[in-house]
Protein backbone atom coordinates (compact mmCIF):
# COMPACT_ATOMS: atom_id res chain seq x y z
CA UNK A 1 0.00 0.00 0.00
CA UNK A 2 2.90 2.34 0.76
CA UNK A 3 4.20 1.90 -2.80
CA UNK A 4 0.81 2.94 -4.21
CA UNK A 5 0.83 6.14 -2.17
CA UNK A 6 4.36 6.89 -3.33
CA UNK A 7 3.40 6.26 -6.96
CA UNK A 8 0.45 8.63 -6.61
CA UNK A 9 2.71 11.28 -5.02
CA UNK A 10 5.25 10.94 -7.86
CA UNK A 11 2.51 11.09 -10.49
CA UNK A 12 0.95 14.11 -8.78
CA UNK A 13 4.17 16.09 -8.65
CA UNK A 14 5.07 15.06 -12.20
CA UNK A 15 1.64 16.10 -13.46
CA UNK A 16 1.83 19.41 -11.58
CA UNK A 17 5.26 20.08 -13.12
CA UNK A 18 4.06 19.16 -16.62
CA UNK A 19 0.93 21.28 -16.17
CA UNK A 20 3.01 24.28 -15.12
CA UNK A 21 5.27 23.87 -18.15
CA UNK A 22 2.66 23.10 -20.83
CA UNK A 23 -0.71 24.51 -19.78
CA UNK A 24 -0.27 27.93 -21.44
CA UNK A 25 0.74 26.44 -24.79
CA UNK A 26 -2.03 23.86 -24.55
CA UNK A 27 -4.61 26.53 -23.76
CA UNK A 28 -3.43 28.67 -26.67
CA UNK A 29 -3.70 25.71 -29.06
CA UNK A 30 -7.12 24.78 -27.74
CA UNK A 31 -8.37 28.35 -28.02
CA UNK A 32 -7.11 28.65 -31.60
CA UNK A 33 -8.93 25.43 -32.48
CA UNK A 34 -12.21 26.34 -30.80
CA UNK A 35 -12.37 30.14 -30.56
CA UNK A 36 -14.13 29.68 -27.21
CA UNK A 37 -12.21 30.36 -23.98
CA UNK A 38 -14.38 28.23 -21.71
CA UNK A 39 -14.39 25.32 -24.12
CA UNK A 40 -10.63 25.66 -24.58
CA UNK A 41 -10.11 25.41 -20.82
CA UNK A 42 -12.37 22.36 -20.62
CA UNK A 43 -10.51 20.62 -23.44
CA UNK A 44 -7.12 21.32 -21.84
CA UNK A 45 -8.33 20.00 -18.50
CA UNK A 46 -9.74 16.87 -20.16
CA UNK A 47 -6.49 16.38 -22.08
CA UNK A 48 -4.39 16.57 -18.92
CA UNK A 49 -6.72 14.12 -17.16
CA UNK A 50 -6.43 11.66 -20.05
CA UNK A 51 -2.68 12.02 -20.25
CA UNK A 52 -2.27 11.70 -16.47
CA UNK A 53 -3.17 8.02 -16.59
CA UNK A 54 -0.29 7.37 -18.95
CA UNK A 55 2.40 9.49 -17.36
CA UNK A 56 4.51 6.68 -15.99
CA UNK A 57 4.24 4.73 -19.24
CA UNK A 58 5.63 7.44 -21.51
CA UNK A 59 8.69 6.09 -23.26
CA UNK A 60 10.00 9.55 -24.01
CA UNK A 61 9.21 12.20 -21.37
CA UNK A 62 10.24 14.81 -23.95
CA UNK A 63 7.35 13.62 -26.12
CA UNK A 64 4.74 14.71 -23.57
CA UNK A 65 4.06 17.98 -25.39
CA UNK A 66 3.37 16.17 -28.68
CA UNK A 67 1.15 13.64 -26.91
CA UNK A 68 -0.76 16.43 -25.15
CA UNK A 69 -1.15 18.38 -28.40
CA UNK A 70 -2.51 15.31 -30.22
CA UNK A 71 -4.95 14.69 -27.36
CA UNK A 72 -6.22 18.28 -27.53
CA UNK A 73 -6.69 18.10 -31.30
CA UNK A 74 -8.59 14.81 -30.97
CA UNK A 75 -10.79 16.19 -28.18
CA UNK A 76 -11.61 19.31 -30.21
CA UNK A 77 -12.43 17.20 -33.28
CA UNK A 78 -14.60 14.92 -31.18
CA UNK A 79 -16.40 17.89 -29.61
CA UNK A 80 -17.31 19.35 -33.01
CA UNK A 81 -18.30 15.94 -34.37
CA UNK A 82 -20.73 15.51 -31.47
CA UNK A 83 -22.11 19.00 -31.99
CA UNK A 84 -22.71 18.28 -35.68
CA UNK A 85 -24.60 15.10 -34.83
CA UNK A 86 -26.71 16.97 -32.27
CA UNK A 87 -27.42 19.78 -34.76
CA UNK A 88 -28.51 17.31 -37.48
CA UNK A 89 -30.76 15.54 -35.00
CA UNK A 90 -32.38 18.80 -33.91
CA UNK A 91 -32.85 19.85 -37.54
CA UNK A 92 -34.58 16.55 -38.31
CA UNK A 93 -36.84 16.99 -35.30
CA UNK A 94 -37.74 20.53 -36.37
CA UNK A 95 -38.50 19.38 -39.93
CA UNK A 96 -40.93 16.65 -38.85
CA UNK A 97 -44.32 17.44 -40.37
CA UNK A 98 -47.32 17.57 -38.09
CA UNK A 99 -49.01 14.20 -37.79
CA UNK A 100 -52.51 13.83 -39.13
CA UNK A 101 -54.85 11.97 -36.73
CA UNK A 102 -55.72 9.62 -39.62
CA UNK A 103 -52.02 8.96 -40.09
CA UNK A 104 -51.78 7.73 -36.50
CA UNK A 105 -54.39 5.06 -37.03
CA UNK A 106 -52.65 3.93 -40.24
CA UNK A 107 -49.35 3.79 -38.40
CA UNK A 108 -50.85 1.77 -35.59
CA UNK A 109 -52.41 -0.69 -38.06
CA UNK A 110 -49.07 -1.04 -39.83
CA UNK A 111 -47.24 -1.48 -36.52
CA UNK A 112 -49.64 -4.22 -35.41
CA UNK A 113 -49.36 -5.96 -38.78
CA UNK A 114 -45.57 -5.75 -38.63
CA UNK A 115 -45.51 -7.21 -35.13
CA UNK A 116 -47.70 -10.11 -36.33
CA UNK A 117 -45.11 -11.16 -38.93
CA UNK A 118 -42.69 -13.99 -38.12
CA UNK A 119 -39.51 -12.62 -36.54
CA UNK A 120 -37.36 -13.36 -39.60
CA UNK A 121 -39.64 -11.45 -41.97
CA UNK A 122 -40.06 -8.62 -39.50
CA UNK A 123 -36.29 -8.34 -38.95
CA UNK A 124 -35.56 -8.35 -42.68
CA UNK A 125 -38.17 -5.64 -43.36
CA UNK A 126 -37.05 -3.44 -40.46
CA UNK A 127 -33.38 -3.68 -41.44
CA UNK A 128 -34.06 -3.06 -45.14
CA UNK A 129 -36.65 -0.27 -44.95
CA UNK A 130 -36.40 1.33 -41.53
CA UNK A 131 -32.63 1.02 -41.07
CA UNK A 132 -32.05 1.51 -44.82
CA UNK A 133 -29.52 -1.30 -45.09
CA UNK A 134 -28.67 -3.05 -48.34
CA UNK A 135 -29.61 -6.67 -48.93
CA UNK A 136 -25.99 -7.67 -48.36
CA UNK A 137 -25.77 -5.75 -45.08
CA UNK A 138 -29.08 -7.19 -43.92
CA UNK A 139 -27.97 -10.70 -44.85
CA UNK A 140 -24.71 -10.22 -42.99
CA UNK A 141 -26.47 -8.99 -39.85
CA UNK A 142 -29.03 -11.77 -39.95
CA UNK A 143 -26.48 -14.47 -40.78
CA UNK A 144 -28.39 -15.44 -43.94
CA UNK A 145 -27.78 -15.47 -47.68
CA UNK A 146 -28.91 -12.39 -49.65
CA UNK A 147 -31.42 -14.56 -51.53
CA UNK A 148 -33.00 -15.60 -48.24
CA UNK A 149 -33.29 -11.95 -47.21
CA UNK A 150 -34.99 -11.12 -50.54
CA UNK A 151 -37.44 -13.94 -49.96
CA UNK A 152 -38.17 -12.90 -46.36
CA UNK A 153 -38.76 -9.29 -47.40
CA UNK A 154 -40.96 -10.31 -50.32
CA UNK A 155 -43.15 -12.63 -48.26
CA UNK A 156 -43.37 -10.15 -45.39
CA UNK A 157 -44.31 -7.25 -47.66
CA UNK A 158 -46.95 -9.42 -49.36
CA UNK A 159 -48.47 -10.23 -45.97
CA UNK A 160 -48.40 -6.57 -44.97
CA UNK A 161 -50.12 -5.53 -48.21
CA UNK A 162 -52.98 -7.95 -47.70
CA UNK A 163 -53.26 -7.36 -43.94
CA UNK A 164 -53.12 -3.57 -43.95
CA UNK A 165 -54.86 -3.20 -47.29
CA UNK A 166 -52.62 -0.40 -48.54
CA UNK A 167 -49.53 -0.37 -50.68
CA UNK A 168 -46.63 -0.46 -48.21
pLDDT at 11: 55
Does the pLDDT at position 5 exceed 50? no
What percentage of the chain exceeds 90 in pLDDT? 26
| CA within 13 Å, CB half, 17 | 9
Task: Indicate the pTM of the whole model.
Answer: 0.49
Per-residue pLDDT reduced to its tens digit, 145-164: 999 999 999 999 999 999 88
Please state the rounded mean pLDDT for residues 8-37: 81
pLDDT at 135: 92
Per-residue pLDDT reduced to its tens digit, 40-54: 999 999 998 888 776
Does the pLDDT at position 99 exceed 80? no
Of the pLDDT bands very low, low, confident and very high (cuts 50, 70, 90), residue 22 is confident
Amino acid sequence: MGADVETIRIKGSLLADLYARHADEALRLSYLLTGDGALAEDLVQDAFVRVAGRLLHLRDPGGFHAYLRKTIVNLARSHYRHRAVERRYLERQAEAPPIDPDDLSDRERLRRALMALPIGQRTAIVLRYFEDLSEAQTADLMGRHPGAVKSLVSRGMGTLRTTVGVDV
